[in-house]
Structure 1
Amino acid sequence: MQCELPLATARQIYDGALLPDIQARTFRHTDMLFPTRTIARSPTARPLPTQDNPLQNFVFASQGKTYDLYDFLSINRVSGMLVLKNGANCFETYQLGNTEKAHWMSMSIAKTVTATLAGVAIKDGYIKSLDDPISHYLPVLQHSAYNGVTVHQLLTMCSGVQWDETYTNPQSDRRRMLDLQIAQQPGAIVDMMSRLPRAATPGSRWNYSTGETHIAGAMVRAAVQRPLADYFSEKIWSRLGTEADAKWWLESPNGLEVGGSGISASLRDYARFGLFLLNQGVIDGVEVLPAGWIQAASQPITVGGAKVDYGYMLWPLPHYHPIHHGAFQAIGIFGQHLYVNPEQNLVAMVWGALPKPMFKDQTQIRIEDFFAGLCVALD
């Protein structure tokens, strides 16, 4: 797709300092900000069937107010949404200059891809167990705070390693990681992670960390001995009937994929990945993931005696509404959501262009309330 200049910088994105037009242009072309590796599409695209009864406007409640579908699309600055019910397309819209050919950034939805690839590597025998120490695959971490941290603790962000995820703070660990990505030096991010101090005993504290997913990506890369984008395409993306190649940010030219962000793909193809999760990691009758992986990955974890609504880089939704029972999300900043509800046989992919990375105020419609209303409307 031809690039629409000018684009913003990566720092401006994370600062949340963009006017609406340049923000949308940049989110369509994040693959232009850094070197990328291609995630090759399927040899033959598999059309998504169309639902005989498409989604109509509906009303739902959120935080004491009543809204409808059009309110949600406008108030939450939705730039694209696709809803699949029983495997069929019942609603598809493109906004803010997008079309069905457009690609859009995923941000932390890439974390779910990285964790899923860890599951594939376990299924393939490259990673032996969730209980393995990650230093077995990344010996460079043997003398770091990650020494003794298991694969399971890494995938659930319970390593105990200190990390500050504040996107808008130029001094945070997350922004230091971004600075290293901008510098494009091979191995610099893993080196940074190896120097972080330990803040808690491994397994005793949950702390959301994009750096943790870069370590997870490096672990998978070392275990399978091939680039993550190639492995993802071979095992999943090219087998889903995807329509277009996707792109994945690299930390340096021809280097390691950024495990926590940087996948850019089409709306329909993101939804196809959602169907893969809905179908428990089975493609055309073949199990790509270990049996029970998605069930385990989408369950809340218990850390330090407290329940945390996080799994293997997925977000369960147990407390918002009864209709979310068994449902989960992959989430990216600025309003990216891949919602999967197995009991309702429903997948919804939402692209967003919210003004700040972690934008929250009383005028924004809570996404979990919208998804509940969507499920009810299609039930």
Structure 2
Amino acid sequence: MTIISRTAALSLLALFMAGCSTPQAETQTSKPELIGRAQDLYDLPPAYQPGTYRHMDQLFFTREVHRGSAVYPLPRQHEINVRYQTDDGTLGVDEFMQRNYVGGLLIIKNGKIALERYGLGNTEETRWTSFSVVKSISSSLVGAAVQQGRIKSVKEPIARYLPQLSGGTYDNVTIEQVLQMSSGAAWNETYRDPTSDRRRMFELQLANKPGELLKQLSGLKRASAPGTTFRYSTGESHLQSELVHAVTGMTTSDYLSERIWARMGMEYDAFWQLDARAGQEIGSSGFSATLRDYGRFGQFILNDGVINGERILPAGWIDQATRIDPASYLAPGKLYEGEYPLGYGYQWWTFPVGTHALPGHEGGAFEAQGIFGQFLYINRKEGVVAVVWSAWPKPEMDKQEMETYAFLGAAIKALR
């Protein structure tokens, strides 16, 4: 991997953008910025979503994740022309972005940008919120701590490192079971239900009371035996950040910067929401970065967690984090009742393979996914990383999710 200086990279970028500005960037920058209220985050009118997602640091307490002094280059190859099938016929990139409220689209093949588009007023400098995409970044920090010997094994009880969890539901729950959202703790994730556990967690964040999220989690009741049932929990994912802080003695932002963000050559600082002023990073949501830097993180995972020859993640970590065991309750197609096709690993969603594979994804893939349409997709067999930013009108929209996979599958075929 060759890293060039940040100054040189930005100079080259300025020259490129001067000659190749996208219509989206040119026509939307003059529109007034509409930013909603923090407490309305899950119920924003569509007109307020893009501006709010760009400026989360104006609404929440955050901490910077600092870049380094050099930039990981992402050269460009010939731009692909993606055509994909829907019930409405064969469509292209522009239609995909319009139909799915897409504000950023990046596809990287073998380390080179094959497609990059912006919409909804975004530019290459926009730092867009991840929602749950950061869950996968947090799990990678747990892997980094394992590689450094700060955590002996993911088979250890998490309460060994977070004694605040002792004496409750998380007794005898392993770190691995937390990574797999399989602790057995009861949790209601419904985003627009003001009585849900997720909304209670959000209220505690807004209340600016340090440590309250950990107290909430320590008081949860048990709904099933550990390691037997998948239960999606933004609360459980937050434990990753608490764990990293406990074993490193560093803020989670500083640890991310030191181990990955600066080393990998990210182009811009990122920022991460906290549970209170100067508090703990929320390990499950609230991380913001630029489109290409999300892509660079995906490239770090595609590179097996190695930067400039230095192993940041343990050998075999990515394999274990995205392993598909057809007999497991975590296998693709088994997480929920119904026909949802994906499975789950260490905070990564896994794609089905074989006869149940989605078109274009036959070789297997995995992704980080956030509500309102955020995706960080990685296909190791194809050498592809993709990032999609969206502003869906609802937190979860099955039609838009499946159309996104159809588009990405068509992009992979176009790149072969």
The separation in 2 between residues aligned to 1:11 and 1:63, in whole angstroms, is 37
Secondary structure of 2:411 counterpart: helix
Q: How far is 1:69 from its partner?
A: 2.1
Match of 2:254 among 211, 222, 230: 230
Q: Is the 8 A contact 1:80 1:95 kept in 2?
A: yes
Counterparts of 1:55-204 in structure 2 under 5 Å?
A: 55-56=80-81, 58-62=82-86, 65-204=89-228
Secondary structure of 2:70 counterpart: coil
Q: 1:13 aligns to what?
A: 41
Q: How far is 1:206 from its partner?
A: 0.5
Q: How far is 1:360 from its partner?
A: 3.3
Secondary structure of 1:235 counterpart: helix
Sequence identity (%):
43
Match of 2:385 among 331, 339, 347: 347
Match of 1:286 among 289, 310, 313: 310
Q: How far is 1:303 from its partner?
A: 4.6
The separation in 2 between residues aligned to 1:220 and 1:280, in whole angstroms, is 20
CA distances 1:275-326 after superposition (whole Å, capped 9, x unpaired): 0011110111111101111111112355559654000000111232363423
How large is the RMSD of aligned CA atoms in angstroms?
A: 1.7
Q: How far is 1:354 from its partner?
A: 0.7
Match of 1:359 among 397, 401, 416: 397
For the pair 1:312 / 2:337, whether they are aligned, the reply is no
Question: Aligned AA for 1:175?
Answer: R
Over 3 Å counting, the alpha-carbon distance change for 1:252 and 1:375 in structure 2 is same
Secondary structure of 2:381 counterpart: helix
Q: 1:208 aligns to what?
A: 232
The separation in 1 between residues aligned to 2:329 and 2:377, in whole angstroms, is 28
Match of 2:413 among 373, 376, 379: 376
Question: Aligned AA for 1:314?
Answer: W
Secondary structure of 2:386 counterpart: strand
Secondary structure of 1:159 counterpart: coil
Q: Is the 8 A contact 2:230 2:330 kept in 1?
A: no
Q: Is the 8 A contact 1:62 1:366 kept in 2?
A: yes
Secondary structure of 1:344 counterpart: coil
Q: How far is 1:6 from its partner?
A: 4.6
TM-score normalised by L of structure 2: 0.86
Q: How far is 1:204 from its partner?
A: 1.0
For the pair 1:49 / 2:49, whether they are aligned, the reply is no
Over 3 Å counting, the alpha-carbon distance change for 1:139 and 1:87 in structure 2 is same
Q: Which runs of 5+ in 1 are unaligned?
A: none
Q: How far is 1:369 from its partner?
A: 1.2
Q: 2:242 aligns to what?
A: 218
Q: Is the 8 A contact 1:72 1:365 kept in 2?
A: no
Secondary structure of 1:12 counterpart: helix
The separation in 2 between residues aligned to 1:199 and 1:323, in whole angstroms, is 34
Q: How far is 1:67 from its partner?
A: 2.6
Q: Which runs of 5+ in 2 are unaligned?
A: 1-31, 336-342
Q: Which has the higher contact order (CA 8 A, sep 6+)?
A: 1
Q: How far is 1:46 from its partner?
A: 2.8
The separation in 2 between residues aligned to 1:352 and 1:75, in whole angstroms, is 10
Secondary structure of 2:67 counterpart: coil
Q: Is the 8 A contact 1:214 1:260 kept in 2?
A: yes
Over 3 Å counting, the alpha-carbon distance change for 1:364 and 1:66 in structure 2 is farther
For the pair 1:268 / 2:330, whether they are aligned, the reply is no
TM-score normalised by L of structure 1: 0.94
The separation in 2 between residues aligned to 1:360 and 1:340, in whole angstroms, is 20
Q: How far is 1:55 from its partner?
A: 1.2
Q: How far is 1:63 from its partner?
A: 5.7
The separation in 2 between residues aligned to 1:75 and 1:64, in whole angstroms, is 11
Aligned residues: 371
Secondary structure of 2:315 counterpart: coil
For the pair 1:323 / 2:361, whether they are aligned, the reply is yes
Q: 2:6 aligns to what?
A: none
Q: Is the 8 A contact 1:114 1:216 kept in 2?
A: yes
CA distances 1:241-296 after superposition (whole Å, capped 9, x unpaired): 11110000000111110010011111111100010011110111111101111111
Q: How far is 1:9 from its partner?
A: 2.0
Q: Is the 8 A contact 2:54 2:128 kept in 1?
A: yes
Secondary structure of 1:146 counterpart: coil
Q: Is the 8 A contact 1:133 1:147 kept in 2?
A: yes
